[in-house]
Amino acid sequence: MASATAGATDTENFYKNKTVLLITSTSVGGTYDVVARLVARVMPRYLPGHPTIIVQNMPGGGNVLATNYMYNIAPKDGTAIATIHSAMPLHQVLDPRDVRYDADRYAWLGSTGPQNEVILVWRTAGITSLDEATRRDIILGGTGVASGIVIIPAVMNKLLGTRFKIVTGYRTSEDVNLGMERGEVQARAFGIDSIASQHPDWIAEHKVTFLAQAGVRRDRRLPDVPLLTELARTDEQRQIFQLISSAPALGQPYVAPPGVPPERLALLRQSFAATLKDPVFLADAEKIRFNVEPMSADEVAQIVHQTTHAPADIVARTKAAVGMATH
């Protein structure tokens, strides 16, 4: 009993006078970054020792850079956590060339909740329906080939006959937004919560038209916009759309590296869960129009496991739909 008490005390004292690094795989100013800074302000209240949490942006490689770093390089003592893009488990399945992580082995902390991905077109494109998007070419912007904002329109092209001309090479998601506002591209895939938070004028001033959405259920703000799974014409197409909808189902997930001592991981999970229910955090999230529907570590881990263990034939057909090599 004395040994157990001493162990618990050591764990509780570990974070005293410590600095915890919270890495985000995105650039400054995006929703991942803004929400991470809200988390960093509140979460120390719930960690014993009340450490300082500092946010560090690590964009690059379509979010793979930070994801690889967290898995292989970040300290595994509980002083490094991250919010990585929800498409990273799917990326591992579809395009593992630069992947140096196994999403199924990460120590997931939880998520802010599901966030549907929407496919939208800028108003000057003159496209008002999905049917029109099958008859006219539309220039769509993205980051990496295997990023979530490219995978979804690529699969739509293959399975639904849309005519998105996908332009990759933008470094960050916000660069894509700027490109669209400048007229370089006409469309993109984007999280509805990110739009509501970062660009509410797009909705209020009808600057964009929503063609479809990816997720488990229709977003309450877009009740008339169909889900990709609802647009599927066959059971196989439905399974493919379900696979690529795994990213929006994860929302904005938080993670620690594999190998964090169990007692510290438990503290991180408990404090993160408490943060997402904290009145100050929720008030700040409401101010930026960010929807919070907390998901537990187990819920996140289950979605990740289902994604990384998707049936081989569905993965192969999804790769073919995206235009990736299947070997």
> Which pLDDT tens digit goes with each residue over 67-99?
999 999 999 999 999 999 998 999 999 888 899
What is the predicted pLDDT for the residue at 62?
A: 77
**What number is the average pLDDT over the span 174-185?**
93
Tell me what pLDDT residue 29 has: 85
Structure tokens at 117: 């991905």
Span(s) in the chain for CATH 3.40.190.10: 117-247+315-322
Residue 116 confidence (pLDDT): 94
Given a cut of 90, is residue 240 above it in pLDDT? yes
Residue type, 178: L
For the cut 70, the answer to whether the pLDDT of residue 327 exceeds it is no
Collect all residues with Cβ–Cβ distance below 8 Å to 204 and sequence separation of at least 6: none
Position 224 pLDDT exceeds 80: yes
Burial classification of residue 217, based on how many CB atoms lie within 10 Å of its CB (0-12 exposed, 13-18 middle, 19 or more buried)? exposed
CATH architecture for segment(s) 2-114+251-309: 3-Layer(aba) Sandwich (3.40)
- The amino acid at residue 17 is N
Residue 4: which pLDDT band, with cuts at 50, 70 and 90? very low
Q: Residue 174's pLDDT is what?
A: 86
Beta strands in the chain (DSSP E): 19-24, 52-57, 80-83, 107-111, 117-122, 138-141, 164-167, 187-191, 208-214, 253-256
Residues of the chain with CATH 3.40.190.150: 2-114+251-309
The 3-state DSSP class for residue 86 equals coil
Q: For residue 111, is pLDDT > 80? A: yes
**Looking at residues 218-228, what average pLDDT do you find?**
95
Q: What is the pLDDT of residues 186-200, one digit of tens each?
A: 999 998 988 988 899
Residues with Cβ within 8 Å of 313's Cβ and at least 6 positions away in sequence, in order, are none
Edge-to-edge order in the sheet of strand 52-57: 52-57, 19-24, 80-83, 253-256, 107-111
Write down the pLDDT at residue 312. 95
pLDDT value of residue 205: 95
Distance (Å, whole) CA 46 – CA 275 = 7
pLDDT in tens, 126-156: 999 999 999 999 999 988 766 668 889 999 9
Average pLDDT over residues 174-182: 92
Confidence tier at 6 by pLDDT (50, 70, 90): very low
For the cut 50, the answer to whether the pLDDT of residue 235 exceeds it is yes
| 21 backbone dihedrals φ, ψ, rounded to 5° | -90, 125
- What is the average pLDDT value for the chain, to the nearest integer? 92
DSSP state for residue 126 in the 8-state scheme: -
Sign of the CA dihedral running 285, 198, 116, 320 = negative
Query: What band does 1 get if pLDDT is binned at 50, 70 and 90?
Result: low
Pick the CATH number of 117-247+315-322 from 3.40.190.10, 3.40.50.1220, 3.40.50.970, 3.40.50.300: 3.40.190.10
Regarding pTM above 0.85, the answer is no
